Amino acid sequence: MTKKKKKKLTKRAVIISAFLVIISVFAGVAYVYGIDYYRKYYTCPTVAIDYNRFPVSGIDISAHQGNVDWKLVADSKVSFAFLKATEGAGFVDKMFETNWKEAKKRNIIVGAYHFFKFNKDGRIQAQNFISTVKLTENDLPPVVDFEASYGNRLGKYNAKQIQKQLLKCLRELEKHYKCKPIIYTNVESYTKFIKGNFDEYPLWLCKLCNEPNKNTQWKFWQYTHKGSVPGIKGNVDMNIFNGSYSDFVNFIYKSHGKNTKKNAKTQNRPTNRRNPQNTARKA
């Protein structure tokens, strides 16, 4: 092997080694940052909720929680429950019908949510929900769960295309139920897709570890995934409404275009409900 060739191979080896070192450094930084982000966002201590400010608390569940003892849930002072109904173009949560019936039987105010899929037509997704959920003026507005996670990736769809399908879904639901749907989302998805584009829709924000920014006009706040409620095995998502119980009642009926004065029975429900026996330690 000539000296020139050896020198060329040595130079190539140095370049490759330097490149691998750089990649390793970036990978290490990304790993450390990722672990740090996870610890701060998902494993931080649960937010200390001021129930004088936020007296109306609730839960959201799906079939993942299994069979729920709704009597125990009601006895624990849960005011409302969002129940998963549908997902995508054809999926229906197997526990929705049972949960809906049993929660209502225990005088818990209920709402239903649809998990929005980025790769499905928005109008078809709305029809999946509509064919599954029958709402009354006593129920919370329909909810669209919009998250850039759990299998939802941009892929071949850009943000504008996804927002277009989300708008189709929202409008179809609004047309059918005669009220504006609630948008559930997390901070990242809110910032990237929702903020400034869908501000006319009530916001249910997932914000773990600390209270949402005061400039964020949220109606519901999901503050932990690690709540504990009698009657439900394992962890459960915990939420609060942004206002008093009277505000909560007014929100429901105004959403449906109704006069709250005609609904004295619901208005007379106790206003001193507190958080259920939430033993959450981490969010």
Per-residue pLDDT of 25-39, as tens digits, reads 555 444 444 444 444
Task: Give mean pLDDT, residues 62-79.
Answer: 96
Helix (H), strand (E) at residue 191 = none
Q: Cβ distance 110 to 140 under 8 Å?
A: yes
- List beta partners, residue 239: 58, 222
Average pLDDT for 250-276: 62
Q: Provide the pLDDT for residue 63.
A: 97
Q: Which residues contact 235 (CB under 8 A, 6 or more apart)?
A: 225, 226, 227, 228, 280
Residue 41 pLDDT exceeds 60: no
Mean pLDDT of the chain: 84
Per-residue tokens: 194: 């929702």
pLDDT tens digits, residue range 150-199? 677 666 678 899 999 999 999 999 999 999 999 999 999 999 999 999 99
User: What CA–CA distance (Å, rounded) separates 263 from 281?
Assistant: 38
How many CB atoms sit inside 10 A of residue 122's CB?
Answer: 23
Q: Rounded to whole angstroms, what are the CA distances from 63 to 60, 66, 92, 95, 243?
A: 11, 5, 10, 5, 29
Residue partners of 91: CB distance under 8 A and separation at least 6: 128
Q: Tell me: the pLDDT tens digits for 230-244?
A: 999 999 999 999 999
Alpha-carbon distance 243 to 75, whole Å? Answer: 22
pLDDT at 48: 86
- pTM, full prediction: 0.79
**Residue 42 structure tokens:** 């998902």
- Decide if pLDDT at 82 tops 90: yes
Fold topology of 57-267: TIM Barrel (3.20.20)
Nearest to 208 by CA among 234, 248, 238, 252: 238
